[in-house]
Structure formats: structure tokens, C-alpha cells
A = this chain, B = another copy of it.
Amino acid sequence: MKRIRVGLLGFGTVGAGVFHALRSQEEIILRRTGAVFDIRSILVQNAAKERPAEVKPLITTDFRRVLKEEIQVVVEAIGGIEPARTYVEQAIEAGCHIVTANKELVAKHGVELERMARRNGVHFFYEASVGGGIPVLGTLIHFLKSNRIHRVSGILNGTTNYILTRMAEEAAPFEQVLEEARQKGYAEADPSADVDGFDAVYKLVILGRLAFEADISVSDVQREGIRDVTAVELAMARRLGYTVKLLAVGEQYGENGPISLGVEPALLPLPHPLASVNGVYNAIHLEGDMVQDVTLVGQGAGEQPTSSAVVEDLCNLSLLPSPMRSLKTEPLILPAAETGGRRFVCLETREHGVPEAKTLKSRLESIGLSVEETTVSPEGGAAFILRRWDPSYPSVLVAELGLDLARISVRRVFGTEAAAKNRSPEVGTAV
């Protein structure tokens, strides 16, 4: 039996979850890994706060005291950049392995922290930073080694997925469902990190680095949140056979080719493996040249799934190697194209003056647009899918249709055969 001395930074949802998990799973971990993880010290901000009796003697507010306990692994569960970053750096320099659930830290400073860890002969593991309990980073690192990954797409944020799912189910507006999500504890008091897409961006950066072996940074990802998604467009998309998700997509065009990365509300055809992922679930769709496609679905947040990922990393410190991948330092980042590609257009009218679907379709075609599907709603409003998009179209639509519009939404349509066919042939077999 190996006894491994652990320092725990933070005792919030994840920190407390890890503490409890290492106790409840102690026997099974010992049996399967030969190790016992012994938390020697817990760093908190507020020492005065009431804690369980077994936690109290371990509490400290001084990081230096954590390192004095001859810690072998530091579990960082503070979140955010500072002081987490400084502590992690000091712990690496003191020769500790790091296990973290901190997506912002890994997205913004993961590359240098990983390099620092390698120099110091320690591991820097962060499975819990993406997709909670879903072992997607491990899958990319260990089980898709021989695959060239050409696309990673995911529903990486449970809060926004819950909100979009409920908006569609209840035909309710964003603000109302956001309030409901807050009351249920699915959204923070300040929901910006989730609803404006920052959280999904961090996770896509981490996934993209492993998938494309490139030093991707947060500013490389185009970002659009869900604040302006309406219940009307969700309903119209559904009538056309699509669902709207906050999708994080990274694509590489050809081996070592340019990469494009974006987080935005986009349409998925209902049979797509990500389309049926509802509520607080997360999912990641990985496309590789040999494996074709693999989708992983699970609980992307919550105390138990996230602690599960942290504890699995702890178990694997002595068992799995660090990945042997070197990152291409200045990858060519292509912004998502403004022009071309399929788009869903939803027109919300002030008055009930929308023509029938067939009439609308022929009017759109008469002004030179290539229309795939059209629907109009009895409550007013129309939606259609265009085969090609040009940024000049909104003004064309306003001028030509002569409708009293309250709103035009334009969303990318994802996961189509056309998209697969447009992929560079070098990337591998089309799915």
C-alpha cells in the first residue's frame, strides 16, 4: 500500500466533493490502485466558517503551511486565475503533482503550467476541467493516439443547455428561464460566464489543444452567447427538424492545417448525436480519420461527477503517462466564415402579415436566394434555411419582403452532409 499525501486547495463544491469521495471510495481505490490518498491539509479563505469535525483539524488559510505537510499532490479546487495560478506554480516548483478542475486556469495558462510541470518531473492533470465526469480528455490523449482528429464539437455548458431545453419545452423567454435556473441552483447570481459562452470557450480551448496539438488561446475562439435566442426561433427551428444548442466547435482543415474555433447558438439536425443531449447534460462529439466518430455524454457539472474526474486523475498519477504531444506554437487560426455555408433565418414580425410558406419560398427564390426549407407560424413569423449565406442578406430581406419585422435571427446550421462533403479530402474519410 502506498500512502499518498494530498494538499487540497479550496473547499467549495468540488473541494468538499473530493474530500468526501476519497473517504467513501477509499477501499475501492486501494483495491484497484494499491494507493490510499491522505488529505493532510485544506486551504480555505475563511477559517471561521463552520466545517464538519473531520475537516476542522486540516483547515488552514496559509498556503505555505500546505506545502510544509510534505505533500505529493496538490488538488486545486479554488477556480479562477489568482491565487490559484500562483499556488499551482509554487506547488509544481516544490515537486508536487497537480490535479485541477479549473478550466479558466488551464485554458489561459495550461500550456506554460504543463511545461513547468514537465521540467519539474511532475504531472499536471485536468480531466475535471472539461465535461465534469465525462472522461473526454483521457479519451483524446490515450484512446485516439493513432487518429487525426479533424473536428471536436460539444455541448460543454450545462447551464445554457438547461436554459435552451426549458425555453423550447415551455416556449418561455430567456430571462424567465434564467431566473428559474438560478432558483434551482443551475445558474450563478452573475450568469455571464455561462450564458455569454466564456465557460464553453475555456473548455473548447482545452479540447482543441489536445485534438489539434496546437497552442490555442482563449482569444482564438469566436464567442456568442445565448442571451438573444428567442423561444420563437427555437420553435421554428424544431418545425424544420432542427434543435438549437450552444455549440462549441473546433475544426482543422487538413493535417497541420488551419484551425477554426467558435462557440455560438447553432442549429443541429435532430438525428445528430448531440441533438438529443438535453438539460444539464454535456456531450462531446469527436471525429477522427480512423474511428469515424465517437460521442461521449454525461453530467458536465455537479459535486459527484466533477469529483469523480478529480479522483480518477489522482488514481492515474502513478499509472498513466503524461501525453507525448508537442504543441504547434503558432497555429493558423481561421475565423468562422461570415460568408457561405447554410444558415437558418428566423423573422419575427410585429403584425400577422406573413405570406404562406410556399409563397414565401418563391419570393425568396425570386430575389436569388437558395432556399432549402421554409416554415411560417400561425402566431406570425417565418423561418427558412438558406444554402448559402452572405452578410448583405438581412438588408435584402428587409427591403424585398416588406414585412414589419421585430427581429431577424441568423444562426449557423451544423452537422449536415454538405458540411461533411466540404471537408478537405486530406482530413480523412467523410462520415
Contacts and interface: CB of A to CB of B under 8 A. Distances in A.
Contact of A271 (B142, B275, B278, B304): B278
Contacts of A304: 290-292, 429
A125 to B, nearest CB: 12
Nearest to A319: B321
A315 interface: yes
A149 to B, nearest CB: 10
B293 A296 contact: no
Nearest to A307: B290
Interface string A254-278: 0000000000000000010101101
Interface in A284-312: 288-299, 302, 304-305, 307-309, 311-312
A308 B295 contact: no
A415 interface: no
A325 interface: yes
Interface stretch (A133-141, A330-338, A395-403): A133-141
B295 A298 contact: yes
B145 A135 contact: no
Interface in A30-68: 32-34
A147 interface: yes
A33 B323 CA distance: 9
A153 to B, nearest CB: 13
Copies in the complex: 2
A240 B32 CA distance: 43
Interface in A391-419: none
Interface stretch (A21-29, A70-78, A224-232): A21-29
A324 B33 contact: yes
B288 A293 contact: no
A134 B28 CA distance: 25
A273 B155 CA distance: 15
A148 interface: yes
A291 B146 contact: no
A25 B142 contact: no
Contacts of A273: 276, 281, 297
A359 interface: no
Contact of A133 (B291, B302, B307): B291
A386 to B, nearest CB: 27
Contact of A312 (B144, B275, B296, B312): B144
Contacts of A134: 294
Interface string A86-109: 000000000000000000000000
Interface of A: 21, 24-25, 28-29, 32-34, 127, 133-135, 138-139, 142-148, 271, 273, 275-276, 278, 281, 288-299, 302, 304-305, 307-309, 311-312, 314-316, 319-321, 323-325, 429
Given A25-B147, A139-B139, A295-B298, 18 more contacts: A21-B146, A25-B290, A29-B146, A32-B323, A32-B324, A34-B324, A133-B292, A135-B144, A135-B294, A142-B316, A142-B319, A146-B308, A292-B302, A292-B305, A293-B298, A294-B297, A294-B298, A296-B296
